[in-house]
Amino acid sequence: MLVYLFLVIAILTIVINRWKSRRILKLSRQLQNKFKAYPLVGHGYAFSGSDVDRMKAFIEFGLEAINNNGVTSLWFGYDYYTVIADAVIADNVMKSCLDKSNLSDVIQHLIGNGSIFAPVRIWRPRRKVVAPTFSQKNLQAFFEVFSQQSCILVERLSLAVDKEAFSVWKYFSTFSMDSICETAFGVKANAQSQPDQPFLAAFDEYSSLIAARMCQPWLRIDAFYKLLPDSKKLEKNKKLICDYVDKVVKSKLANQKDNISSEENANRSAYKTFLEIMIESSGNRRFTDEELREEILVIVLAGTDTSAVGASFTSAMLSRYMDVQNKVYEELCEVFGDVSRPVTYEDLPKLKYLDAVIKETMRLYTPVPVVSRILDKDISLPSGLTLVKDSGALINIWALHRNPRYWGKDAEEFRPERFLEGPLEYPAAFIPFSHGARNCLGYQYAMMTMKTALATVLRQYRFLPAEPNATEADLRKPLRVKYDLMMRNVDNYMVRIESRSKSSV
């Protein structure tokens, strides 16, 4: 009897899987594109090579989707994805399908079930605990940290005044790390005064390695990957990252337990850190040490990287568009008057043009160019197509942000004024911090840090093009980009700066 039952279950499983596969194959044929999918690897070959090659492939599939009514097909090995560059479809998928696809599995190697990539059953209760840490009240309490760290940033940049071109990345990444460590743990990382941080270098290399593994199906086979030299590099960098976070968390927990009082704790009594708020918010369902590490890793890595990438891209764009930079400076003069006055929380809503500049930069150079979902149900499209349950969806944010259907014929142009022309008709056409229930909780935190840093820096310095003799045509060329979990500038955000005291607007 048991053998008969087993055979029935096995046959039904095969039939159901074949039926699902046939439906997915049918959808794939309906969305055929110019890229040939090969056995075993699918389109994975297009994503092999360097970080630049991977970003180029995402761009090409995004353009294919734009030219094909907002959707096209993509095979990562035997895993099928519908690439989406349509705001209505993206809105539907991101609001109704909350589980991330198995493309995200490789990053769990580092952050485990951290809430960005955790399955819904784990993500939902965790989010309820983590969400209060990003309340408006808490963000306002953190603001003094952002302001103080911005002043340190200005001091550090003084060393680059009137010098050759340099990378603003190392300045904004250490500024972001100092800000996030102080607000997350109440710990001064002093990354700005000690910029050669092993933690930052480890995360940079880890990101590149994990992006390569995510995009190439054959590298996601554990038995094969462990034979490669990159596997040892990955583990080495993971250890450096986790050791740093573990050390800080354990130190903080020990201080809390012993109720140690110090001048530093007294000085920041006005606010509670992310770690303290998370521990208190968890109530009877207390986080384990492992769960705390997972969530803190998410906050530190996402918080440091997103803000630094956004501010660095914005600086690079301002160096190329002097008319835009002049308008930002005029607004700053209107709001602050005295250029040396620190930025306050109340100043930020007044900086409308700076806000538009940051958003326009993040439209063209969004830190996270793609996000994925697994469909837990069929989704019918207005075109008559049906996205099939259990298949994947790859929302190509790069393509959404450049789709002329939503941004007009000048979609490729850098024009901040578009964000001052009223609300978007399609909210999902602009999603630099994702969309729906699983959007980034730290959206306001990131915008606050970027606006505070840039408002402080731009009142003291003028960004100039990296190449002194660059022509107008040179400055209008798109920035070269690559993909290593985030979209970054190939040329490392090179600029020059001069003091505002030397010249007026």
Q: Please give the annotated binding residues for heme, written as ranges.
A: 440
Pick out the residues of the known binding site.
440
**Per-residue b or e along 456-484, where b marks 16 or more CB atoms closer than 10 Å to that residue's CB:** bbbbbbbbbbbeeeeeeeeeeeebebbbb
Helix (H, G, I), strand (E, B) or coil at 426: coil
How many helices, marked H, and strands, marked E, lie in the chain?
Answer: 19, 11
Taking CA atoms, 35 is separated from 38, 121, 188, 437, in Å, by: 10, 36, 50, 33
Strand partners, 483: 487
Give the residue among 391, 148, 142, 362 at the shortest CA–CA distance from 270: 142
- Percent helix, percent strand, percent coil in the chain, to nearest 5: 60, 10, 30
Task: Name which of 109, 192, 197, 115 is nearest 146 in CA terms.
Answer: 192
Whose tokens are 């734009």? That residue is 66
* Nearest of 371, 377, 394, 373 to residue 20 by alpha carbon: 377
d(CA 309, CA 487): 8
Q: Is 162 left (phi over 0), alpha (psi -120 to 50) or beta?
A: left
| DSSP assigned state of 168 | S
Taking the C-alpha atoms of residue 234 and residue 224, their distance in angstroms, rounded to an integer, is: 14
Q: If residue 186 lies in a helix (H) or strand (E), which one and from where to where?
A: none
Burial code (b: 16+ CB inside 10 Å, e: under 16) for 198-232 equals ebbebbbbbbbbbbbbbbbbebbeeeebeeeebbe
Considering only CA atoms, which of 85, 32, 2 is closest in space to residue 405?
A: 85
Q: How far apart are CA 304 and CA 192, in angstroms?
A: 13
E strand or H helix that includes residue 483 = strand 481-483
